[in-house]
Amino acid sequence: MTDVRSLRAAAARPSPARPSAARPSPPPPAPHRRFRTGPATAVLAAALVFSIAAATAVGPADISVADAFGAIASHLGLGSSPLSALHDGIIWELRLPRVLTAAAVGAGLAVSGAVMQALTRNALADPYLLGLSSGASLGAVCVVLLGLQLLLPLAAFIGALAALAATLLLARLAGGLTPSRTVLAGVAVSSLGSALTSLVIFWTATGDSYRNILGWLLGSLSGAQWSSAGIAGAALLVAGVPLLAASRLLDGFAFGDDAASALGIHVPAVRWSMLAGTALLTGAMVSVSGAIGFIGLVFPHVVRLIAGPGHRALLPLSALCGAIFLIWADTGARFIFEPRELPVGVVTAVIGAPVFAYVLARRKGGS
Amino acid sequence: MKTVPTRVRQPDGGPTGTRQAGTGQRDAGQPGAREHAANLKAAGLDVALGGKLVVDGVDCTVPAGALSALVGPNGAGKSTLLRALAGVVPVRRGTVLWQGRDLLRLPRRERARIAALAEQESGTDTPLTVRDVVSLGTMPHRPLLGFGDGEDDAAVAGALRSAGVPELADRLFGELSGGQRQRVQLARALAQQPQLLLLDEPTNHLDPHAQLTTLHLMRQLAGQGIAVVAALHDLTHAAAHCDHVIVLSEGAVVAAGDPRLVLTADLIHAVYGVDAHVLEHPATGRPLIALSLGVSSR
């Protein structure tokens, strides 16, 4: 009976006939440990709560983290504030709304990015890179200058939606929705949106238009109030929570639209309703913070490296990471050049652009 | 591993000379044909891709509890027909009845619980593990919305075992060989717990041993009552292992029925333009189809 070993031995001898009969032995399996989502979520949630309190303590007025905790707790009906009325006001009226806005914006942008990456099967998808943020800025700036503050989130949503539609349409006209083409189309839409935003501000504003333009184009949380936190938080509830609840659907898109359809997913309905959800989320976030970039790109990738690609874990963990990150990025932005403030988008871009480069380089080939 | 030829009976006619090609032939009443309940019945099916009719008026039946081969030259419309039956590509005209119900008008999720499709080329950029891929198959059976786990570990493990790849569970899908991916896609389809299993060239990329194992697995699944339809290129596989064959050419069914009656030298020449000798396997007694580009006289 011939077996593989004797065939190998025969093949090793310098004979002319060399039967290639050996079944290739499988490479040693590289086991992947299963990531535990529950504990990770709990740790990150605790880190978020700590970050909120700690970040409110950072600033020129000298307040300890414990006192910041106490002051916040007192407003929530737990005990009395350990701080003077002045410091208490700084915490509750100035810093906390800003920190909460940062958290909500970070969470919203990270969720938007993760959802967009899944639905467009594009590792480079991000609300900033695909032009949604600049579209939202344009919409927001238009209504602010018309004095229609109440319509701010709505206008930003419409702007984001229009920009998304323009990007996808342009990419399709350019030959198909490949990742690179989609990002290039996003660059075009984003540039136009930014230019028009600058133009509108410059045309109508009388005072410090450059600072205003920077705030919208690079993102800034310096004007955040309780109303900002309210808008961002409401958007998380209205759009973010449903997106999280639908996260399992996103897994079905891994092998493309047809495979998703064969699994019983109504592909067009799911895709467009979820993309509209990301536009709503992005629009609301941009309307309170301007176009903060790269958060939607970076955190889904970071979380995927650690927790794996399942969206049930990816979305909430990205949201928590995005929230914590933007809190500290904004704290850095107001702290580094104190008393001057850096637009927070500068901080996120310094960290995000190298990640973008890394993802781009890792994709190799493709178009 | 040997595939056991218990289900295949010898036809009463001669093993090589049975002339039975031609449109509209059915197994009913033919010598040696098995009586199958026709669980899938497609009628007048037209599918157009980019304005071109790729599936053109297909009428076919697929018996339950049997392994059916879908054969035909490249571009005959095999993949498109399978995709149409799975409801993945829109059908321009025609009906697909599954046990009397209109499969194409069922809600998607319900259809996904009846019919599962494993395609030829399936790639993903997402770094999914094999377990992740297979658990996609349980989607039609679990709630789509919600925050909990919702995954069915038992169904996933069962599907991995059935497809013979439980040891791959924790490997990354992207690192597998073509044959292993094929198996994993089969496991994913099995996790859908389908009654109708549509496989596009499931033996493609596989070495001979794995091809036979896959055919054996497909027979086992058919034995469990599933209607298994596989697009195959190897006519010997179709003749020796399948209960039923559907021959497609240029988008239309040109013959269907018991493979030993349908896959004749004449039909193979007419459809593929090659000369065929239908021989008897010296060890198993099953058909062996030898092909050549016209060196023999017919």
pLDDT at B252: 93
Q: How many angstroms separate the CA atoms of A265 and B109, rounded?
A: 7
Quick check: A258 and A90 in contact, CB under 8 A? no
What pLDDT does residue B51 have?
A: 85
Q: Identity (one letter) of the amino acid at B254?
A: V
Which of A175-179, A301-305, A322-326 has the largest mean confidence? Answer: A322-326
Task: For an interface test with B, give the residue of A33, A36, A263 to mutate (most B CBs within 10 A).
Answer: A263
What Cα–Cα distance (Å) separates residue A269 from each residue in A118, A168, A266? 15, 16, 6
Residue A188: CA atoms inside 13 Å, Cβ hemisphere, count? 13
| Contact yes or no for B127 and A304 at CB 8 A | yes
For residue A100, what pLDDT band results from cuts at 50, 70 and 90?
A: very high
- The reply to whether residue A255 touches residue B144, judged by beta carbons under 8 angstroms, is no
Chain segment A185-231, per-residue pLDDT in tens: 999 999 999 999 988 888 876 666 777 777 888 888 988 899 999 99
Query: End-to-end alpha-carbon separation of chain A, Å?
Result: 51
What is chain A's mean pLDDT, rounded? 86
Cβ within 8 Å of residue B80, ≥6 positions away: B47, B49, B54, B55, B89
B148 pLDDT above the threshold of 70: no
Q: How far apart are CA B256 and CA B59, in angstroms?
A: 10
Residue A229 CB contacts under 8 Å (≥ 6 apart), including other chains: A97, A100, A101, A104, A288
ipTM above 0.90, yes or no: no
| Contact: B167, A266; criterion CB under 8 Å | no
| Interval A296-317: pLDDT, tens | 999 999 998 888 888 989 999 9
Name the β-bridge partners of B196: B115, B227
Residues of A with Cβ-Cβ distance to B113 under 8 angstroms: 264
Beta-ladder partners of B68: B229, B244
- In tens, the pLDDT along A224-258 reads 899 999 999 999 999 999 999 998 899 888 888 88
pLDDT for residue A15 is more than 90: no
In eight-state DSSP terms, residue A23 is P
The Cα–Cα gap between A260 and A253 comes to: 5
pLDDT at A19: 43
Nearest to B126 among A31, A246, A309 (CB): A309
| Cβ <8 Å between A263 and B167 | no
φ/ψ (deg, to 5) at A129 = -70, -30
Nearest CA-CA partner of A112 in A367, A291, A268? A291
Q: How far is CA B45 from CA A181, B93, B263, in A?
A: 37, 6, 23
On whether any CB of chain B is under 8 Å from the CB of A310, the answer is: yes
pLDDT above 60 (res A29): no
A30 interface with B at CB cutoff 8 Å:
yes
Residues of B in contact with A32 (CB under 8 A): 129, 170-172
Q: What is the pLDDT of residues A107-145, one digit of tens each?
A: 999 999 999 999 888 888 899 989 999 999 999 888 888
Q: Could you tell me if B192 lies within 8 Å of chain A, comparing CB atoms?
A: yes
User: Considering CB atoms only, which of B123, B136, B149 is closest to A263?
Assistant: B136
User: B132 to chain A: which residues are within 8 Å by CB?
Assistant: 251, 254, 308-310
Distances (CA, A) of B197 to A123, A306, B108, B114, B245: 32, 35, 16, 8, 15
A28: DSSP letter: P
Measure the CA–CA gap between B210 and B189, rounded to whole angstroms: 18
User: For residue range B21-80, what is the model confidence (pLDDT) as tens digits?
Assistant: 333 333 333 333 344 456 899 999 999 988 889 999 999 999 889 999 999 999 999 999
| B144 in contact with A, Cβ within 8 Å | yes
Token couple for A147: 């004095």
Residues 6 or more apart whose CB falls under 8 angstroms from that of B243 comprise B7, B8, B34, B36, B63, B66, B67, B68, B222, B258, B259
CB pair distance less than 8 Å for B124 and A254: yes
What confidence tier does B2 reach under pLDDT thresholds 50, 70, 90? very low
Q: How confident is the model at residue B198 (pLDDT cuts 50, 70, 90)?
A: very high
How far is B221 from A2, CA to CA, in rounded Å?
33
Chain A CB within 8 Å of residue B172 CB: yes
Residue of B nearest to A362 (CA): B125
Mutant choice from B139, B170, B183 vs A, greatest count of A C-beta within 10 A: B139
Spatial separation of the C-alpha atoms in residues A325 and A182, rounded to whole Å: 27
User: Does B127 contact A309 at a Cβ distance shorter than 8 Å?
Assistant: yes
pLDDT at A7: 72
In tens, the pLDDT along B262-298 reads 999 999 999 999 999 999 888 888 889 999 987 644 4
Can you give the pLDDT at residue B79?
A: 93
How confident is the model at residue A17, as a pLDDT? Answer: 42
For B101, phi then psi, to 5°, come to: -100, 145
Contact between residue A253 and residue A260 where contact means Cβ atoms under 8 Å apart: yes
Q: What is the mean pLDDT of residues A80-100?
A: 89
Q: How far apart are CA B116 and CA A263, in angstroms?
A: 8
Q: pLDDT of B158-193, one tens digit each? A: 999 988 899 999 999 988 888 889 899 999 999 999
Closest among B183, B249, B198, B227 to B23, alpha carbons compared = B249
Interface test with B, best of A23, A261, A265, A317 (most B CBs within 10 A): A261
Question: How many whole angstroms separate alpha carbon B230 and alpha carbon B242?
Answer: 9
A266 interaction partners in chain B (CB closer than 8 Å): 108
Q: Do B149 and A262 touch (CB under 8 A)?
A: no
In which residue are the tokens 């499709």 written? B117
Q: Would you state the structure tokens that stand for residue B69, as one six-digit string?
A: 């081969």
**Per-residue pLDDT at A271 exceeds 60:** yes
Q: Does A337 touch chain B if contact means CB atoms closer than 8 Å?
A: no
User: Minimal Cα distance from A316: which residue of B?
Assistant: B147
Q: Given an 8 Å threshold on Cβ–Cβ distance, is A308 in contact with B111?
A: no
| Confidence label for A151 from pLDDT (cuts 50, 70 and 90) | confident
Q: How far apart are CA A67 and CA B48, in angstroms?
A: 70
- Is the pLDDT at A177 greater than 90? The verdict is no
pTM: 0.82
Residue A10: per-residue pLDDT: 67
Alpha-carbon dihedral sign for residues B170, B174, B180, B184 = positive
Across the A:B interface, residue pairs with CB atoms under 8 Å apart total: 93
In percent, how much of chain B has pLDDT > 70? 85
The sign of the dihedral angle between the CA atoms of B34, B35, B40, B41 is: positive
Which tokens belong to B177?
A: 């060989």
B-interface mutation test, from A20, A23, A32, most B Cβ less than 10 A away: A32
A113: tokens are 């990015």
Residue B26: predicted pLDDT = 38
